[in-house]
Amino acid sequence: MKIVNAKKIGREAVEKLLTKKSFDEVELSPKIREANKKIFGEDLSAIEIVRRIVSDVRKFGDAAVIDYTKKIDGESSIRNEELEIRNDELEDIEIDSEILSSLKVAAENIRRFHIEQLPKSWITYRGENSLLGQAVIPLERVGVYVPGGTAAYPSSVLMNIIPAKVAGVGEIIMCTPNANKTVLAAAKLAGVDKIFKIGGAQAIAAMAFGTEQIPRVNKIVGPGNIFVTLAKKEVYGHCDIDMLAGPSEILIIADENANPIYAAADLLSQAEHDPLACSILITTSQTLAEKISAQVETQLEKLPRKEIAATSIERNGLIVVAENLDEAIDFANFSAPEHLELLTAEPFALLPKIKNAGAIFLGAYSPEPLGDYLAGPNHVLPTGGTAKFYSVLNVETFLKRTSLISYTKNDLHCAAKDIIRLAEAEGLHAHAEAIRRREEFS
């Protein structure tokens, strides 16, 4: 794993290494480009493909969804042109009892954590009997996207559906291609209302605009590949979205007390996700850096997803040796990682200095996979540096706020002069007249 010394190469050079490509700067591999050329008849960029699919689904509905799904996922992906997985199919699903038991433990932890996030509607009185307030209202229908590529993610099913249920969303639909039994069992456990066996940009467009079989949603959440992410960006405004997420990432801050075996294992836990995943460690110890690098190579050999993890480490793996913990924190805040681990002697002492991170894991016994699966906080997190302005997916993702205003006749009279003065200062005389008319008849 590549090791650089911040003092030797300078701050600017380190920040350049820590700067991640935006999700829309990801280049398609030659293999994917060739496959797309066979489907579309020409070599198109990812955004060109997405815009074509979104436009066709918006115009032609189910016909376009079915056509693209068969072309991309194979003729057998949809039979009889039925997109929805029937309830009786879900009832017949059986999975390993121990896996189901673990899913239930995770689901309960996630539910309890997100209940704590619920905001309340409120009203406050002004003047004699006037009132102002805020109504917190759940969305009517939400669409959840669940990837179906090189790995199945039942944990993502729980993390997206349960907060929506806690928020009180009226209907939750899910789109997932090639769903396996564990994913479907998790969806059933979480309380999904409908599941559609489609994926990619066509699934995002179908949920955003609605088709003959798929209802239109108010918001789309859930992670996906570059085509899914670009499709979410393309439909934003027709519905809301959670965030524009890119490849998974981890950044570890480690002092000389950190266990190199733990640190290497945690770096690889992200690297196995995707060849584009990013694993970074910042330490104050050159000796520890070398031990961790050696451990990564040793542990890598035993991984079933070795090829993926090795590619990720080669492309995006990095160990930075910082002069002190303050510099390490500065680099971490600059990077704004999805997952930030503090493998230091006193992790809570560093916590007030952390400004940008999707989730923070404190101490040697709070590894990132704990958050991925079981602890309860959501694992749908901002990536690619967007933790500087995005939040983790949470209950409020599925809520909207409406202001409440009710003035009495006398309280409006007391406020009339200020309203009229401000309206006329903006040149909006009809606004002023709406107040004057009430003054005339008071």
**Spatial distance between the Cα atoms of 42 and 34, rounded to a whole number of angstroms:** 9
Give the residue from 378, 375, 350 showing the smallest Cα distance to 365: 375
Options 234, 249, 327, 338, the catalytic residue:
338
- Please check whether residue 68 is in contact with residue 202, taking contact to mean a CB–CB distance below 8 angstroms: yes
Three-state secondary-structure class, residue 79 = coil
What are residue 313's phi and psi, to 5 degrees?
-65, -40
DSSP 8-state assignment for residue 236: B
Q: Kindly tell me the sign of the dihedral angle through the C-alpha atoms of 170, 176, 181, 182.
A: negative
**Spatial distance between the Cα atoms of 415 and 334, rounded to a whole number of angstroms:** 47
Q: Strands across the sheet with 194-196, in order?
A: 194-196, 171-175, 141-145, 219-221, 240-241
- Please check whether residue 137 is in contact with residue 371, taking contact to mean a CB–CB distance below 8 angstroms: no
- Please check whether residue 381 is in contact with residue 359, taking contact to mean a CB–CB distance below 8 angstroms: yes
**Spatial distance between the Cα atoms of 439 and 432, rounded to a whole number of angstroms:** 11
Question: Parallel, antiparallel, or unpaired for β 339-343 and 3-5?
Answer: unpaired
Give the residue from 138, 135, 123 showing the smallest Cα distance to 172: 138
CB contact burial 73-108 (16+ within 10 A = b; e otherwise) = beeebbeeeebebeeeeeeeeebeeeeeeebeebbe
Options 339, 341, 368, 379, the catalytic residue:
339
DSSP 8-state assignment for residue 395: G
Active site residue 339: yes
Three-state secondary-structure class, residue 56 = helix
> Which residues participate in catalysis according to the annotation?
338-339
